[in-house]
Structure 1
Amino acid sequence: MARRALFLDRDGTVIVDTGYPRDPRSVQLLDGAIAAMKEARDLGYALIVVSNQSGVARGIITPEQLASVHSRMVDLLAAEGVVLDGAYYCTHGPDDGCICRKPRPGLIVDAAREHQFDLAASLLVGDKASDVAAGEAAGCASFQLGTWVEALAWVRARSRGIGGRNG
């Protein structure tokens, strides 16, 4: 069986989007994310976060603050029994022309290369159209998050080979 991943945006998908989070104490997991991530893991998906964090390039947050927020998210996930297989962040701004900034697929392609994932067997869930576009550009079936209940139903269907390519 091909090695497959569930790629997840961070803000608005795994954690509550507070707009350029700087304070790790403000990090809260999004309702439904834990259950969905656990079930995805049970279905054989590795869990990879892929996230634009242009606040660094814009000078809104520091790399250290980004790292602190990431660590807090990892700790909250671990406390619920969820361990990520990786996390990839693009800290460039929208006008930097970088290939890793979504909607470009660089973060996803890098993760797939490093972990030897089959992108055609992998999925992406994110809360923005740019997330979906990045997943599609990388060759993943992609779903724009409304609720985790909807997204999890889509993940289940995709894991059984049912349903359209994108949500």
Structure 2
Amino acid sequence: MTTANQAFVLLDRDGVINEDSDAFIKSPDEWLPIDGSLEAIALLNNHGYQVAVITNQSGVARGLFDLAILEKIHAKMHRLVAGHGGKITAVYFCPHGTDSTCNCRKPKPGLLLQCATDHHIKLSETVMIGDSYRDLQAAIAAGAKPVLVKTGKGEKTLAEHPNLNIPIFDSLYDAASHLTRTAP
């Protein structure tokens, strides 16, 4: 458990930390980090931020992979981040399909709210970095500060929503660099 008001940064996974795929990331071999993303997590950690991953994983509901495979994918992510001197404190995922009425599938705020409860996070002071519009919607719905990166679906999100009035960065590393330069 973390202390009250611990500084956290929340990250979407696919398209922010690792390369995204329209065919889904179905195995540890398909999980490939985006250049600089592992270093970005270490940079955040080195400046006092803990990192939690907030991710939709509808491939489970679609039968493309099971929870055991998802655990192996996340184990690889943890291992590679650690190899760069970083740590992901927690991973929250929604295994439900796109037609689900659950509260955990982004753009709904359930995963962010659960993370905030578990770690005593003040979401109004917490950044959520994503590449899709639903990541931004989930952040806003939870009361967090949305940030867009242009990796993954980010360019498409920006093209479809050109008037976003939020911070936008080329990559997770650029966003992390900005956050660590402007941290109080």
Same topology, TM > 0.5: yes
Alignment partners' CA distance in 2, 1:141 and 1:20: 27
Q: Look up the equivalent residue of 1:3 and give its one-letter code.
A: Q
Alignment partners' CA distance in 2, 1:153 and 1:136: 22
Alignment partners' CA distance in 1, 2:29 and 2:119: 31
| CA-CA distance at 1:153 after TM superposition | 4.8
Partner of 1:152: 176
Partner of 1:164: none
Residue 110 (structure 1) aligned to one of 95, 111, 114: 114
The reply on whether 1:92 has 2:96 as its aligned counterpart is yes
Alignment partners' CA distance in 2, 1:153 and 1:83: 17
Aligned residues: 160
Partner of 1:4: 7
The reply on whether 1:41 has 2:45 as its aligned counterpart is yes
Question: How do 1:59-138 residues align onto structure 2 when only pairs under 5 Å count?
Answer: 59-138=63-142
Unmatched 5+ stretches in structure 1: 161-167
1:1-47 Cα shifts (integer Å, max 9, x gaps):
83221000111111111342122122211112123222222332210
Alignment partners' CA distance in 2, 1:90 and 1:134: 13
Answer whether contact 1:4 1:119 (CA < 8 A) is retained: no
Answer whether contact 2:9 2:126 (CA < 8 A) is retained: yes
Answer whether contact 1:47 1:84 (CA < 8 A) is retained: yes
Q: Structure 1 residues 77 and 153, CA, compared in 2 at 3 Å: closer, same or farther?
A: closer
1:41-87 Cα shifts (integer Å, max 9, x gaps):
23322100000000111112212211111111111111111111100
Q: Look up the equivalent residue of 1:159 and give its one-letter code.
A: A
Moved more, 60-69 or 4-13: 60-69
Alignment partners' CA distance in 1, 2:174 and 2:24: 26
User: Which aligned segments of 4 or more residues in structure 1 are displaced greater than 3 angstroms?
Assistant: none
Alignment partners' CA distance in 1, 2:177 and 2:85: 21
Normalized against structure 2, the TM-score is what?
0.80
Normalized against structure 1, the TM-score is what?
0.88
Alignment partners' CA distance in 1, 2:178 and 2:62: 35
Identity %: 32
Alignment partners' CA distance in 2, 1:154 and 1:97: 36
Moved more, 131-140 or 28-37: 28-37
Calculate the aligned-residue CA RMSD, in Å. 1.7
| CA-CA distance at 1:108 after TM superposition | 0.7
Unmatched 5+ stretches in structure 2: 151-169
Report the secondary structure of 1:71's partner residue: helix
Answer whether contact 2:92 2:115 (CA < 8 A) is retained: yes
The reply on whether 1:27 has 2:36 as its aligned counterpart is no
